[in-house]
């Protein structure tokens, strides 16, 4: 069975600083997709960044980038130049070829002014 | 920008009653999903739906649950004979092309079973 682990329930970062959220997963599949979703307080989840497992190049999206280590089954999210609007719950998710999403338990990130 | 919408935002029901949670996916999307999140726990996949039939379901999605696309816009989750442990946030999501594609989530329906 697929599992997704986020070992940091809560994190904080000073505005304009950089923070890294960790995620590890377990799977026997070779082709899959990984996602980071953001859920601001009282708002719906939105996609932050997406990585296809067969691509070696790490995905980047403006201030957001990932460090994808396929052999280690690690998928961390780096947020550069943190902004107050980045305060949210961040979920790491694994999408299997069986068309199912597996979410981690989330990391609550607070950006401190 | 198109959004997934869900109604109601909060539903309170008595144990043993049936509830229907409603979702309107993004209009050109073909794949639909339901998830639930029990307070303080992870988001859990329930079911995916494509071409008017269930494509995948989790162990959670037993005979108590059913999904339907009654018309061209709505996607519903029915929970029969609700139990206290069904209390959770239920999220609907949709995607355009399915596997690996970005899923767009609705704001969720908070279901409280008393």
Distance, in Å, from the CA atom of A32 to the CA atom of A25, rounded to the nearest integer, reads 11
With beta carbons under 8 A apart, name residues in chain B contacting A44: 3-4, 91, 105-108
Strands B10-13 and B5-7: unpaired
Question: How many A/B residue pairs have CB atoms within 8 Å?
Answer: 53
* Helix, strand, coil percent values for chain A (each to nearest 5): 5, 50, 45
CA distance, residue B7 to nearest chain A CA (Å): 14
Distance, in Å, from the CA atom of A85 to the CA atom of A88, rounded to the nearest integer, reads 8
* CA atoms within 13 Å, Cβ hemisphere of B25: 28
Spell out the alpha helix ranges (H) of A1-113: none
For B5-30, how does the pLDDT look when each residue is reduced to its tens digit (9 = 90+)? Answer: 999 999 999 999 999 999 999 999 99
pLDDT at A1: 64
Distance, in Å, from the CA atom of A27 to the CA atom of B11, rounded to the nearest integer, reads 36
Concatenating the DSSP letter of every residue in A18-66 gives -EEE--EEE-S-SS-EEEEEEE-TTS--EEEEEEETT--SPPEETTEEE
Distance, in Å, from the CA atom of B107 to the CA atom of A45, rounded to the nearest integer, reads 7
Inter-chain CB proximity A43 and B107 less than 8 Å: yes
Peptide bond into A39 cis (omega under 30): no
For B27-75, how does the pLDDT look when each residue is reduced to its tens digit (9 = 90+)? Answer: 999 999 999 999 888 899 999 999 889 999 999 999 999 999 988 789 9
Inter-chain CB proximity A47 and B103 less than 8 Å: yes
With beta carbons under 8 A apart, name residues in chain B contacting A45: 91, 105
pLDDT at B102: 86
Distance, in Å, from the CA atom of A95 to the CA atom of A74, rounded to the nearest integer, reads 14
With beta carbons under 8 A apart, name residues in chain B contacting A41: none
Residue of A nearest to B99 (CA): A99
Distance, in Å, from the CA atom of B99 to the CA atom of A101, rounded to the nearest integer, reads 10
Inter-chain CB proximity A44 and B58 less than 8 Å: no
Task: State both tokens at A31.
Answer: 């082709």
Q: How confident is the model at residue A20 (pLDDT cuts 50, 70, 90)?
A: very high
Mean pLDDT of chain B, nearest integer: 93
pLDDT at B76: 97
- Which one of A47, A51, A99 would you mutate to disrupt binding with B, by most B Cβ within 10 Å of its Cβ? A99
Q: Bigger pLDDT: A111 or B73?
A: A111
Q: Among all chains, which residue has been given the structure tokens 């989840």?
A: A45
CA distance, residue B59 to nearest chain A CA (Å): 12
pLDDT at B72: 79
With beta carbons under 8 A apart, name residues in chain A contacting B106: 44
With beta carbons under 8 A apart, name residues in chain B contacting A35: 102
Q: How confident is the model at residue A18 (pLDDT cuts 50, 70, 90)?
A: very high
Q: Is A17 a residue whose pLDDT tops 90?
A: yes
């Amino acid at each position: 069975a697929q599992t997704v682990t986020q070992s940091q329930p809560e994190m904080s970062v000073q505005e304009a600083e950089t923070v890294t959220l960790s995620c590890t997963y377990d799977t026997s599949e070779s082709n899959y997709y990984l996602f980071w979703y953001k859920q601001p307080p009282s708002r719906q989840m939105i996609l932050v960044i997406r990585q296809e497992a067969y691509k070696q190049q790490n995905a980047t999206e403006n201030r957001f980038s990932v460090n994808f280590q396929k052999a280690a089954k690690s998928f961390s999210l780096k947020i550069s130049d943190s902004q107050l609007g980045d305060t949210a719950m961040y979920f790491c998710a694994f999408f299997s070829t069986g068309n199912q999403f597996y979410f981690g338990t989330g990391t609550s990130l607070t950006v401190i002014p | 920008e198109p959004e997934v919408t869900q109604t109601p935002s909060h539903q309170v029901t008595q144990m043993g009653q049936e509830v229907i949670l409603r979702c309107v996916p993004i209009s050109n999307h073909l794949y639909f999903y339901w998830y639930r999140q029990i307070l303080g726990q992870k988001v859990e996949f329930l079911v995916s739906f494509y071409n008017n039939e269930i494509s995948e379901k989790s162990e959670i999605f037993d005979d108590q649950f059913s999904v339907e696309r009654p018309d061209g816009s709505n996607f519903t989750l029915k929970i029969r004979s609700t139990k206290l442990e069904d209390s959770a946030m239920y999220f609907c999501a949709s995607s355009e092309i399915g596997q690996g594609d970005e899923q767009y989530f609705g704001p969720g329906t908070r279901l409280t079973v008393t």
